[in-house]
Structure 1
């Protein structure tokens, strides 16, 4: 007579399951009803996301910007192994055109893409109409975001998550001439509704572009504002911050940068601080370098005093080089091509200051991604 199978405590079973990839958990839903229900509980989803975040892969979007070749999503893991998404046909069926990367997202007249905790916020245009979708490719769930209260011709989008209120929100700026912010609306995944929010001190802010960056319960954009204290009406570069929980906008001044007229800037996070990656030309050398600035914690209750510190400068590079994202203590950089050559992607190590090949096709779109079980109200395609 066979011995009975050992029965493990539920705590041990759960501790094992939260460490498995989503693909395995989807298969294990058919093991028993209790497991299927477990995988849908908020506590399990949150714990699985905590473990999955440690893997911290990159999402690579490779496409022919001419529009002749469909877009392709891949994942790059810490071993520099590339694997292709298995279900991109879900979004392919909704979209026309392809995408290229711009400011931590994909940007073309046909679409944008943002990532937060495994959810992708996708904006695309079809028949002159803009549509927003939320997509969790790990569990193959997609949901169309309802139309906002106003549908202007020009707008800018941001997407992020707040652990304080356990909610994902989309911010939509409505833009007037010269991309000036005139109004803002926020969509809550929890309520499924849009609502207007006060733009407050955003009056006169413009050129937010398409480069939203989400981190630590807030969404950030790089923008500009006219300096009213200067007679020639020069322009101040700044960072617009949106607190997802409190729905409040804050303006953060830039650090004092050199070569401001010829730089390339990206927002990132480094050592749990908001960071700014800045490409500068080294005077009279014909070379370029990347500076890394971090924003120190603001202790001023009025939020009017901010302190930046430059903590890193890369070795000079003979080509124009632009930093895109910080990944595993390395900066993912796009390097401009020499004449007759293609541009390439390299990794700049923040410890050794060495450049090395990235190991993927030339100049793809790149953003952070993590597998998750986050639900979208069970709307499946």
Structure 2
């Protein structure tokens, strides 16, 4: 008997599939060989990620349930402000403090039970983990700073590691997920540049950024604040001055970064920093300058928050769904709930308001990322 069931065109089938959650697609891997191959194609990866980013963007919270404990737990927060714990994969143990980065649903993590050089790539949604090979440097330098990001131009994820001596950059290496190899990169223009050790980098628009400083020539006690950037596609470093407001701050011997925060705003690098006059938070965005005589880049202030309540310290983290995600902590002299350190707060960029959500933050050694479930590393699954 002839089958009268209509068959949809492949374009329509693909258009439906790219809109489905990752967990549904994983189940559909066994439907047919064509679908299994389709889900592994770069074009399907990219289109599915595009839809997920617009419709299902999440917050990823790396927090400690027990204050001051090293055991880190991952939580996702959805648009309905529902929080869910993310189960760790078999190979993932305890995270080192601060050692988590997120890009397109792929996490780059460092683990407590591994040597300092050990890094892992992990997609929690599809439960795939891959260990990154050891870097070329054989612990010749005392410390390093790590960054992680993605470039759609070359369709590759990269880890950049800056080796430091006295916290000054002396050598760089980059790992490519596409090749699976480390290689050295030139850091000549970073001579004399100081960056924070550890996981202090921030990815935005195919670039990884650090806050840095450099001695002003002839004034060893005066520091020039800089943005250090690494182009993921070109493997090139550049230096950009901070906004004038920050550059005019009193020179000091230390790089104070805890009050400032690099973020991504409309796919552009931006920076939050406290306004000492208004007692609020300003947002500056790095724009490409239309006047070549003024240099390639310029900073524009686009937002100032209302003054903070005197009883609270507000730490801006990222921009998510056009809102500022902050951690809020009560000052010690004010009474707070027992065993409570802070709350998660969303502040609108278009209205002068703060929305406090019932998401207790037990430790301010907490990291927050924008996150989207994706198929990255699906091609590594063996079925």
- Alignment TM class, shorter chain as reference: 0.7 to 0.9
The answer as to whether partners of 1:176 and 1:182 remain within 8 angstroms in 2 is: yes
**Residues 1:325 and 2:325 are matched in the alignment:** no
Counterpart in the other structure of 2:74: 73
Q: For structure 1, which segment, 69-78 or 321-330, has the greater mean C-alpha deviation from structure 2 after superposition?
A: 69-78
How far apart are residue 232 of structure 1 and its match? 4.9
Distance 1:99 1:343, change over 3 A: farther
Counterpart in the other structure of 1:309: 300
Q: In structure 1, which of residues 200, 224, 233 is the aligned counterpart of residue 213 of structure 2?
A: 224
- Distance (whole Å) between structure 2 residues aligned to residue 355 and residue 292 of structure 1: 16
**Residues 1:147 and 2:134 are matched in the alignment:** yes
- Distance (whole Å) between structure 1 residues aligned to residue 275 and residue 85 of structure 2: 35
- Distance (whole Å) between structure 1 residues aligned to residue 264 and residue 81 of structure 2: 21
How far apart are residue 301 of structure 1 and its match? 7.3
Distance 1:330 1:375, change over 3 A: same
| Consecutive unaligned residues in structure 1, runs of 5 or more | 101-106
How far apart are residue 69 of structure 1 and its match? 7.6
- Distance (whole Å) between structure 2 residues aligned to residue 280 and residue 321 of structure 1: 12
How far apart are residue 307 of structure 1 and its match? 1.1
- Distance (whole Å) between structure 2 residues aligned to residue 68 and residue 255 of structure 1: 37
- After superposition, the C-alpha distances for 1:279-332 in whole angstroms (9 at most, x for unaligned) are 23337xxxx311000111145779954311111110001222221111111111
- Distance (whole Å) between structure 2 residues aligned to residue 307 and residue 241 of structure 1: 15
Counterpart in the other structure of 1:103: none
Counterpart in the other structure of 2:266: 271
The answer as to whether partners of 2:121 and 2:131 remain within 8 angstroms in 1 is: yes
How far apart are residue 2 of structure 1 and its match? 10
Alignment of 1:276-291 (within 5 A): 276-282=271-277, 288-291=279-282
CA RMSD of aligned residues (A): 2.6
The answer as to whether partners of 1:58 and 1:367 remain within 8 angstroms in 2 is: yes
- Distance (whole Å) between structure 2 residues aligned to residue 99 and residue 315 of structure 1: 36
Distance 1:189 1:47, change over 3 A: same
Counterpart in the other structure of 2:369: 367
**Residues 1:123 and 2:110 are matched in the alignment:** yes
- Distance (whole Å) between structure 2 residues aligned to residue 299 and residue 256 of structure 1: 18
**Residues 1:213 and 2:197 are matched in the alignment:** no
- Distance (whole Å) between structure 1 residues aligned to residue 243 and residue 145 of structure 2: 24
SS in 1 for 2:169: strand
The answer as to whether partners of 1:80 and 1:359 remain within 8 angstroms in 2 is: no
SS in 1 for 2:175: strand
Counterpart in the other structure of 1:113: 100
Q: For structure 1, which segment, 64-73 or 218-227, has the greater mean C-alpha deviation from structure 2 after superposition?
A: 64-73
| Consecutive unaligned residues in structure 2, runs of 5 or more | 251-255
Count of residues in correspondence between the two structures: 361
- Distance (whole Å) between structure 2 residues aligned to residue 128 and residue 193 of structure 1: 19
How far apart are residue 5 of structure 1 and its match? 2.4
- Distance (whole Å) between structure 1 residues aligned to residue 112 and residue 378 of structure 2: 22
The answer as to whether partners of 2:343 and 2:358 remain within 8 angstroms in 1 is: no
- Distance (whole Å) between structure 1 residues aligned to residue 205 and residue 43 of structure 2: 20
**Residues 1:378 and 2:376 are matched in the alignment:** no
- Distance (whole Å) between structure 2 residues aligned to residue 368 and residue 56 of structure 1: 7
- Distance (whole Å) between structure 1 residues aligned to residue 293 and residue 321 of structure 2: 34
Counterpart in the other structure of 2:253: none
